Amino acid sequence: MTAVFHLGLTADMLHGATLALVPGDPGRVERLAATMDRHQFLAS
């Protein structure tokens, strides 16, 4: 399947996601994810 953007992800890997958070600081990922009911780490 074709990669999505520059992250090397495929559309299947996105599981129909309609929103993506891309923090500038990787250290913020866990803190942001903790505020969400359903989160999925996809790429770094």
Identify each DSSP E strand in 1-44 by its residue range. Answer: 3-4, 9-10
> Is the overall model pTM greater than 0.75, yes or no?
no
Separation CA 36–CA 26 (nearest Å): 17
pLDDT at 8: 81
User: Domain ranges in the chain?
Assistant: 17-44
pLDDT at 5: 66
pLDDT at 14: 86
Residues 1-44: tens digit of each pLDDT = 567 667 788 888 888 888 888 888 989 989 999 999 988 888 87
Q: Which residue has the tokens 């299947």?
A: 12
Q: Which residue has the tokens 């090397």?
A: 8
| 44 and 9 Cβ atoms separated by less than 8 Å | no
Kindly report the backbone phi and psi dihedral angles of residue 42, in degrees, each rounded to the nearest multiple of 5, phi listed first.
Answer: -115, -40
